[in-house]
Amino acid sequence: MVRANGLRFRTMVDGPPQGELFILLHGFPEGAESWTRQVASLAKAGCLAVAPDLRGYGLTDAPAEKESYAIDHLVDDVVGLIKAFGRESAHVAGHDWGAIVAWFFAARHPEMTKTLTVLSVGHPAAVAAASRDDPDQQERSRYVALFLLEGKAEQVLAEDDYRRLRAMFARPNPEAVPRSAIEHFARSIARQGRLTAALNYYRANLAASGGPWERLANIGPITTPTVLLWGDQDPALGRRGAEGTAGHVAAEYKLIVLDGAGHWLQFERPDEVSSALAAAANL
């Protein structure tokens, strides 16, 4: 347990205390365990790998107010986590909502971001542009409208023992995420108030009308060396946002397209993800 930004964060930590620090941020509806393979790989390479349960998830504190999940607070969490480990900067990586937090952290704190590695989600301005005028991304983003409905989304997602949440992990590869991991994430988010906390990431940051990503569009360019890994079978994030990201990175940048991969890249392509992290730090 680590105290940062006024909250207690449960963290998975491995590696030598003086190694290069990596902060690994998970997405919806997961937890720190989504980075298990990468934490082990980075530790073996001599790095200090830290994967927290983000606020509202796992054993980390879960503020009740929707506004507590606004992007400003999520960015400040990362600042606090880095300082909690006695550092002034770190290599930062994120997947899904963790990717969005990582993008904003790098934009607002380039001095604290050694490298940026993002999985699945392109630069928020590129995704916003795609959701504005790309029919493919508009179709992929339709689920957001449900997630913004307070009470209704909880009811729908909790039906039949969280059947829909469990099914998310099976697209497009039913064998990608181990059943034990799915069960762990489902049990964790089924605890009192935790599903609402996870959905508050959407409700505090995405728009209910117009393009859902518009509220996240005004982020500015990234000046940190950046790598984006995107699976070309991702059901939620299309090619337009991934390919448009290059125009928003004013630094060394690389797009890695993982053919045949979906959304859960840490599970589906663990070696490629670990290799990208290692390459970012020149390990």
| CATH number for the domain that contains residue 27 | 3.40.50.1820
Section 18-39 average pLDDT? 98
How sure is the predictor about 211, in pLDDT bands with cuts at 50, 70 and 90? Answer: confident
The share of the chain scoring above pLDDT 90, in percent, equals: 92
How sure is the predictor about 208, in pLDDT bands with cuts at 50, 70 and 90? Answer: confident
Catalytic site residue 73?
no
How sure is the predictor about 283, in pLDDT bands with cuts at 50, 70 and 90? Answer: confident
Domain with 255 in it: 2-280
**Three-class secondary structure of residue 115 per DSSP:** strand
Catalytic site residue 202?
yes
Q: What is the pTM of this model?
A: 0.98
How sure is the predictor about 209, in pLDDT bands with cuts at 50, 70 and 90? Answer: confident
> What is the Cα–Cα distance from 219 to 281, expressed in whole angstroms?
25
Active-site hit among 202, 234, 248, 253: 202
8 A C-beta contact, residue 105 and residue 117: no
The string of pLDDT tens digits covering residues 68-124 is 999 999 999 999 999 999 999 999 999 999 999 999 999 999 999 999 999 999 999
8 A C-beta contact, residue 244 and residue 213: no
pLDDT given at position 282: 86
How sure is the predictor about 25, in pLDDT bands with cuts at 50, 70 and 90? Answer: very high
Catalytic site residue 263?
yes
Active-site hit among 53, 61, 77, 96: 96
Total domains present in the chain: 1
> What is the Cα–Cα distance from 60 to 52, expressed in whole angstroms?
8
pLDDT given at position 92: 98
Per residue in 114-144, is it b (16+ CB within 10 Å) or e — as a string?
bbbbbbbbbbbbbbbbbbeebeebeebbeeb
CA angle 150-153-156, nearest 5°? 145
In this predicted structure, the answer to whether residue 156 has a pLDDT above a threshold of 80 is yes
> What is the Cα–Cα distance from 178 to 27, expressed in whole angstroms?
17
